[in-house]
Amino acid sequence: MTAPMTTTLIPATGDGTTARSRAARRWRRARAPLVVLALLLVGGLLAVLPAPRTSTAPLAPDNPGDTGARALAQILTRHGVHVHYVRTIAAAEKAATAGSTLLVLGDLYLTPDMVGRIGRSAADLVLVETPDVLDRLAPGVVPSFGGSTTDVRGAACDDPDAVAAGTITAAGAVRGHGPGVTVCFLESGAGAGEGGALAVVAGARRVSVLTDAGPLTNRSLADQGNAALALRLLGVHPDLVWYLPSSDDLGIERSSQGGTSLTDLIPPWLVQLGLLAVAVAAAAAVWRGRRLGPVVSERLPVVVRAGETTRGRGRLYRRAGAHAHAAAALRAGAASRSAARLGLPRSADRPATVAAISRATGRPAADVEHLLYGSSPTDDRALAVLARELDHLESEVHRS
Amino acid sequence: MAITWRAVALTALGAVPVLLLPVPGTVLVWVALVAALCAVDVALAASPRRLAVSRSVPASVRRTEPTSSTLTITNLDRRRLRGLVRDAWPPSALPASGPVEPGAPAALGRRAPRHAVDIPVGEAARVVSALQPTRRGDIPAGAVTVRTVGPLGLAGRQASLPVPGRLRVLPEFASRRHLPSRLARLRELDGRAAVQVRGAGTEFDSLREYVVGDDVRSIDWRATARRADVVVRTWRPERDRRVLVVVDTSRTSAVRVLDAPRLEASIEAALLLTALATRAGDRVELLAWDRRVRASTAGRTGSRVLPAVAESLAGVEPALVEADWAGMVGQVRSRLSRRSLVVLLTTVDPAAVERGVLGVAAGLTDRHVVVLASVADPEVDDLRHGRRSAAEVFDAAAAERTVLEREAVAQRLRRLGVEVLDALPDELAPRLADTYLALKAAGRL
């Protein structure tokens, strides 16, 4: 049909680019992803950086809220006290050396083992709101009932810290037994016992018990002599270990268990081989990932099948439960094909059609009439039966 | 830049030094070494841009006919060019690389041909890629991608060079297998006794001697009187009639029937009719129309008609617009001055016909013989016999309704004087040829 002629085009030399234009194109292509990457990095840094600056944990030295203690920590820092903020017993144990102060805030999360480890440390102790561990850490000091309301109390003892503070606002009370225990800031008012808010146990190391953390908080630090008491209690030594026990810390360290961990069992060369395997995988990805040229697109024809409209109509019939409608279509089709087969004209009326089909199949005319023009089926089963019977009728017409 | 499997293998070979000296530094040093070797290889590889590439393809080829694209690559660099060349073509232009199941997507398992080349400095090489287009139309070639590899075979450079190329794929004309039998029938029409083909348009051909079997009514008594023998008149089918084939390329032609759009079946039918009518001595013109003329041939005669029709139909694609039938009638009027055969290749889709052809058919049938050839959907017939479930019975009812509606529309068209034939895609071309022959035999053209 066509002559076998060929088109030979002028040779194309190069792809019309120079090293400069390629570099420019690469830069243009890489620019947008790089900007996104930079934004992500900056955003990540911004999200990470302010996180350690403040917290909302009560009595934390980085909490600027009412219940926090950042004011106290900052004042101490300004006066040359190094505040080591720790949340685990292991860190507290490590930091609390002789000649430092260990501040323990609350005993809710302290296990007996942890209490023992606090007791073994050489540092001076300041126990705040720790009524349940007093018997082990502060011998001679017992919690006392009463004094549960916060009120202003005078020193009422000869401890120099208490005297310097004068009055504080505090709640709670402890009583002292035995020698070397000084109880200050006695509770006042009706039914007052001899319990006080501060107990100091002198000895090889000084143990101070404060029944209420209120004087340390940002909210109350400036009230009465709270600040003086807090600064004098915590600022004795240049190092302060600020231990706020955490519910996450169970006081168990893997290294202290003495077992061998999984990493100890892996030979060192296996780790290095793993690293090499990563490098090999990366190289394989580069090898397979580089396409030999761009994808060539194909103009695709329409994919809608012609039968879709018919199927859609069938589904509509079904959803609408149009059994009568469907039956009418099946009957009309069967009748028109049978009539055409029997040579009836298109204009043939109903009795003529029925009579012709009846003659051809040998069926009674009433049967044929009922099948082709009878009552409409009302459910799926009746419709299926009708369809089958129409098939039989039609096959009989075609056999005749 | 691209690396080869050798670079990966060399990286893996680092296991030996790592086992001998298992410290992190070993891995780092080895990776750095491999990277350095790759960089050296890239630097020593020939430039994939200092090439002259030309592509040559046949001007046109029939669909499913194997052909080839030839690339001539001249190495203009000062280094020997080793590497891979990929001649990119859309998947439909490529031969199936393996056995393809019927009905599988055409693009499945087809890969752009790639060739290993080794071209010394200043020399040229020729690589031939086999093509076998499975889709009609103008297929644009993709870029030629060259990947050169350095002397170590570890890494190299890559570039895609835009080498223009275009392969015009003509319709397959698979229906030409029906042509010999129809031509035989056409010859039978020649020289038949007049009484069998008597009609308004049959033409007197010649006189010949009476042989036993001829109809006595065709004896020409005047001629017999002049000679000693009994002479009969013979007739031949009319010639030099005009046939206008109108291919509808509107939205109804885009719908897929079996594996191809309806338009493909229309084109096959148009080609067979063109071949047959041209041999019968008629003048065939073509018009592909939706809202404007998509393709058109006119004024060609003899053996040049069929190539012209195939060529102009090659680039015709279905357009997703509603056909402008009034405009089509205007086109027909402006082209045909005397009585002609107008063949409309469209569909008797009830909705489309009621708004389209029905309104304008009367304007055509009063002057011309009009045949409407429609592509039917075999799927509807399959649906009609579904009885396995309630859903299938409902589908069968819907199919029944579709058939009845098509039949009704066809009937209305027939009443307007249009010859309607509704056939499956494979049967449309021979059925249309038969209709043409029947019209010719009856002298209705």
pLDDT band at B42 (very low <50, low <70, confident <90, very high): very high
- Please tell me if residue A53 touches chain B, with a CB cutoff of 8 Å: no
- Please tell me if residue A111 touches chain B, with a CB cutoff of 8 Å: no
Helix-strand-coil split of chain A, %, nearest 5:
45, 15, 40
Quick one: residue B443, left, alpha or beta (phi over 0 = left, psi -120 to 50 = alpha)?
Answer: left
pTM of the shown model: 0.68
Is-contact B40 B58, C-beta < 8 A? no
Find all residues with CB under 8 Å of B325, minimum gap 6, and list them.
B356, B357, B359, B360
The pLDDT score that the predictor gives to residue B355 is: 85
A227 and A371: one domain?
no
Provide, rounded to the nearest whole percent, the portion of chain A with pLDDT above 90.
28
Angle, vertex CA A17, rays to CA A16 and CA A22, nearest 5: 160
The pLDDT score that the predictor gives to residue B135 is: 87
| CATH classification code of B240-441 | 3.40.50.410
pLDDT greater than 70 at residue A1: no
Spatial separation of the C-alpha atoms in residues B423 and B429, rounded to whole Å = 9
User: What's A222's domain CATH number?
Assistant: 3.40.50
pLDDT band at A147 (very low <50, low <70, confident <90, very high): low
Q: Taking CB atoms and an 8 Å limit, are A283 and B379 in contact across chains?
A: no
pLDDT greater than 60 at residue B316: yes
Spatial separation of the C-alpha atoms in residues A89 and A101, rounded to whole Å = 15
Mean predicted confidence (pLDDT) in B404-411: 92
- Please tell me if residue A320 touches chain B, with a CB cutoff of 8 Å: no
pLDDT greater than 70 at residue A179: yes
pLDDT greater than 70 at residue A244: yes
According to CATH, where is 2.60.40.10 located in chain B? 1-96+109-167
Q: Which candidate from B145, B262, B397 shows the least CB-CB separation from A330?
A: B397
The pLDDT score that the predictor gives to residue A4 is: 47
A97 and A246: one domain?
yes
Q: Which of A250, A269, A298 is the last residue of a domain?
A: A250
Tell me whether residue A375 is in a domain.
Answer: yes
pLDDT band at A297 (very low <50, low <70, confident <90, very high): confident
Contacting residues of B for A388, CB less than 8 Å apart: 387
- Please tell me if residue B311 touches chain A, with a CB cutoff of 8 Å: yes
Nearest residue in B to A287, CA atom: B3
pLDDT band at A260 (very low <50, low <70, confident <90, very high): low
Find all residues with CB under 8 Å of B159, minimum gap 6, and list them.
A15, B48, B49, B145, B146
Q: Count Cβ neighbours within 10 Å for each residue of B11-34 and write b for 16 or more, e otherwise.
A: bbebbebbeeebeeebbeebbeeb
Phi, psi of A3 (to 5 degrees): -70, 140
The pLDDT score that the predictor gives to residue A22 is: 87
Residue with tokens 């106290």: A72
A322 and A245: one domain?
no
Q: Which candidate from B8, B56, B88 shows the least CB-CB separation from A280?
A: B8
Q: Higher confidence at residue A299 or residue A253?
A: A299
Q: Taking CB atoms and an 8 Å limit, are A13 and B76 in contact across chains?
A: yes
Q: Which residues pair with B341 in a beta bridge?
A: B243, B369
pLDDT band at B105 (very low <50, low <70, confident <90, very high): low
Q: Estimate to the nearest angstrom the gap between the alpha carbon of B412 and the chain centroid.
A: 32
Spatial separation of the C-alpha atoms in residues B8 and B29, rounded to whole Å = 16
Question: Å from B231 to nearest chain A CA?
Answer: 43
Packing angle of the helix pair B262-279, B305-314 (nearest 10 deg): 170
Contacting residues of B for A269, CB less than 8 Å apart: 18-19, 22
Spatial separation of the C-alpha atoms in residues A346 and B265, rounded to whole Å = 30
Of the ranges A62-66, A324-328, B224-228, which is most confident?
Answer: A324-328
A189 and A106: one domain?
yes
Is-contact B18 A273, C-beta < 8 A? yes
Q: Which candidate from B112, B173, B396 shows the least CB-CB separation from A330?
A: B396
Q: Count Cβ neighbours within 10 Å for each residue of B197-233 and write b for 16 or more, e otherwise.
A: bebeebeeeebeebeeebeeebebeeebeeeeeebbb
**How does the average pLDDT of chain B come out, rounded?**
88
Tell me whether residue A191 is in a domain.
Answer: yes
Residue-wise pLDDT tens digits, A184-195: 888 776 455 677
- Please tell me if residue A38 touches chain B, with a CB cutoff of 8 Å: no
Spatial separation of the C-alpha atoms in residues B46 and B25, rounded to whole Å = 34
The pLDDT score that the predictor gives to residue A3 is: 41
A204 and A95: one domain?
yes
pLDDT greater than 60 at residue A8: no
Q: Taking CB atoms and an 8 Å limit, are B159 and A15 in contact across chains?
A: yes
Residue with tokens 């070397």: A180
Residue with tokens 């009524």: A131
Q: Higher confidence at residue A180 or residue A365?
A: A365
Mean predicted confidence (pLDDT) in A267-273: 86
Q: Residue A116 sits in which domain range?
A: 70-250
Q: Higher confidence at residue B284 or residue A1?
A: B284
Tell me whether residue A98 is in a domain.
Answer: yes
- Please tell me if residue B16 touches chain A, with a CB cutoff of 8 Å: no
Q: Estimate to the nearest angstrom the gap between the alpha carbon of A156 and the chain centroid.
A: 53
The pLDDT score that the predictor gives to residue A166 is: 86
Of the ranges A33-37, A358-362, B333-337, B378-382, which is most confident?
Answer: A33-37
pLDDT band at B423 (very low <50, low <70, confident <90, very high): very high
- Please tell me if residue A18 touches chain B, with a CB cutoff of 8 Å: no
Spatial separation of the C-alpha atoms in residues A51 and B140, rounded to whole Å = 58
Is-contact B286 B309, C-beta < 8 A? yes
Provide, rounded to the nearest whole percent, the portion of chain B with pLDDT above 70.
93
Is-contact A284 B38, C-beta < 8 A? no
Quote the strand ranges of chain A, DSSP E.
6-8, 12-13, 82-86, 101-105, 124-128, 141-144, 151-154, 167-170, 173-176, 181-186, 196-201, 207-210, 239-243
The pLDDT score that the predictor gives to residue B201 is: 43
Tell me whether residue A382 is in a domain.
Answer: yes
Spatial separation of the C-alpha atoms in residues B317 and A61, rounded to whole Å = 77
Interfacial B residues in 229-248 facing A (CB < 8 Å): none
CATH class entry, domain B1-96+109-167:
mainly beta
According to CATH, where is 3.40.50.410 located in chain B? 240-441
Residue-wise pLDDT tens digits, B151-180: 999 999 999 988 888 899 999 999 999 999
The pLDDT score that the predictor gives to residue B108 is: 56
Mean predicted confidence (pLDDT) in A8-34: 81
Spatial separation of the C-alpha atoms in residues B291 and B295, rounded to whole Å = 12
Question: Å from A233 to nearest chain B CA?
Answer: 51
A230 and A378: one domain?
no
Contacting residues of A for B401, CB less than 8 Å apart: 313, 329, 332-333
Number of residues in chain A: 400
Find all residues with CB under 8 Å of B222, minimum gap 6, and list them.
none
A233 and A353: one domain?
no
pLDDT greater than 60 at residue B250: yes
The pLDDT score that the predictor gives to residue B193 is: 43
The pLDDT score that the predictor gives to residue B211 is: 81
Mean predicted confidence (pLDDT) in A89-105: 88
- Please tell me if residue A283 touches chain B, with a CB cutoff of 8 Å: yes
Quote the strand ranges of A11-74, DSSP E.
12-13
Q: What type of residue sits at position B231? A: V
Interfacial B residues in 313-352 facing A (CB < 8 Å): 318, 320
Tell me whether residue A126 is in a domain.
Answer: yes
The pLDDT score that the predictor gives to residue B195 is: 41
Q: Which of A222, A250, A278 is the last residue of a domain?
A: A250
Mean predicted confidence (pLDDT) in B357-361: 88
